[in-house]
Amino acid sequence: MNMQFKQPRSAAEADQSAKLSIRGVTKSYGSIAVLKSLDLEVRDGELLTLLGPSGSGKTTLLQIICGLVEPSSGSVAIDGRDQTNLPVHERDIGVVFQHYALFPHLTVAENVAFPLRMRRLKQRDIQRRVDEALTMVNLSHVGDRLPKALSGGQQQRVALARCLVYRPGVILMDEPLGALDRKLRETMQMEIKRIHRETGATIVFVTHDQEEALALSDRICLMNEGSIAQIDTPHAIYDRPNSRFCAEFIGLSNIFEGALVEGGMRTADGLIPLYGLTQDYTYLMVRPENVEFIPAGTGYFDATIVESVYAGSNTQVVAQSAAGTTISCRCPAGVSALAVGSKVGVTWRADAVRYIK
């Protein structure tokens, strides 16, 4: 099979050159600014996820990239070629939607062949590339079936094959797994990672699901209110968020607000010791997996257990301090359950703390 877009590479080896360049892009509807002067580069061969809450501008940005929406200002370029004013069908872009948009009267193979027929390829080339695309998504055995005979996951893979078959420079995926159940979503996430690895395609993936973004991405572009809040690798954006918004949107966080004083940070729960700070910070963040509940009177401050939820591999325990602060702790499986109403001390390792301005 020869379906590769380019020689496969690991994320660490990905070309640092820009495949897709967005410069100064804005979008306003009347007095409402949906996008605020965005600059973004998507590297050749990477999978970059646009992540953010509803209304953050991620779908509008995707629509501008593929030509469905005209920007108020700014430019979009692929491989250094300006495509801002090109119509949709002339852009070197493929799109996979949440709703598969398959032709119900065409077979799977005919659906996948459709973009090649529109490009007037020879029949022998069409057949070869359709076979390669269906093999890539593990659907070579269903080419003669109609879409209605397939499961949701299979239909989504057909839509992906239809996009892959004509080898676009950039593939846009607009919440393609949103209509699938949890188990199937996880399976399809692995499929997309495999296909990305094997093809070396450049993919921009839109989602509001933070777990999906962490699982799939080479980098995450976290958006908020029409701007880029942070762009980095999944590990870095989870472990080193640059703002309170990023810390709260990516994963669960325990965030304490206070003022730096001699010996630590003065918070509503008391003085929390800090070490080695050279800058002024407003917030202290600790992830739930780094929190530990110990006997009352022996931690940084005391709290009362208010909820305990068993989740198989771990138990999510929630406590509340006398000052009203909610603290989440993710306890590993096998740890003795803490009774609701019991008093505990709250602590964590010094190196588990992250500081946010």
CATH number reported for the structural domain that contains residue 241 in this entry? 3.40.50.300
At residue 336, the 3 state secondary structure works out as coil
In this structure, the answer to whether residues 193 and 258 fall within a common structural domain is no
Same domain, residue pair 139 and 262: no
H or E stretch covering 169: none
In the chain the beta strands, taken as DSSP E runs, fall at: 18-29, 32-43, 47-51, 73-78, 81-82, 93-97, 170-174, 203-207, 219-224, 227-232, 254-261, 264-267, 270-273, 283-286, 291-295, 301-310, 314-321, 326-332, 343-348, 354-356
For 132, half-sphere exposure in the C-beta direction (CA atoms, 13 angstrom radius) is 18
Query: Hey, what are 227's tokens?
Result: 């701007």
Of the candidates 349, 256, 258, which has an alpha carbon nearest to the alpha carbon of residue 303? Answer: 256
Whether residues 118 and 140 fall in one domain: yes
Token code pair at residue 107: 């077979």
Contacts of 89 (CB under 8 A, 6+ apart): none
| Structure token pair of residue 351 | 């190196």
Q: Is 164 helix (H, G, I), strand (E, B) or coil?
A: helix
Distance CA 2, CA 272 (A): 59
Question: Which tens digits make up the pLDDT trace of 262-302?
Answer: 888 999 999 998 877 767 888 999 999 999 999 999 999 99
Domain count across the chain: 2
Residue written as token pair 């993710």? 330
CATH of the domain at 338: 2.40.50.140
At residue 240's C-alpha, the angle toward residues 178 and 11, to 5°, is 60
Position 5 in a domain: no
pLDDT digits (tens, 9 = 90+) for 42-94: 999 999 999 999 889 999 999 999 999 999 999 999 999 999 999 988 888 98
Whole-angstrom Cα distance, residue 224 to residue 52?
6
212, 245, 278 - which closes a domain: 245
Q: What is the pLDDT, as a whole number, of residue 13? A: 46
> Rounded to whole angstroms, how far apart are CA atoms 138 and 183?
18
Two tokens at 241? 């968020």
CA-CA distance, 112 to 133, in Å (whole number)? 8
- At 5 the pLDDT is 53
Give the contacts of 304 (CB within 8 A, at least 6 positions apart).
319, 320, 321, 341, 342, 343, 344
Reading phi first (left if > 0) and then psi (alpha if -120 to 50, else beta), residue 305 is in beta
Residue at a domain's end among 214, 245, 276 = 245
In a domain, 47, yes or no: yes
The domain of 350 spans: 252-356
Are 228 and 265 within one domain?
Answer: no
Residues in the chain with pLDDT < 50?
1-2, 4, 7-15
Question: Do residue 240 and residue 259 come from a single domain?
Answer: no
148 and 127 inside one domain: yes
Q: How far is CA 70 from CA 23, 41, 59, 62, 267, in A?
A: 14, 19, 13, 11, 48
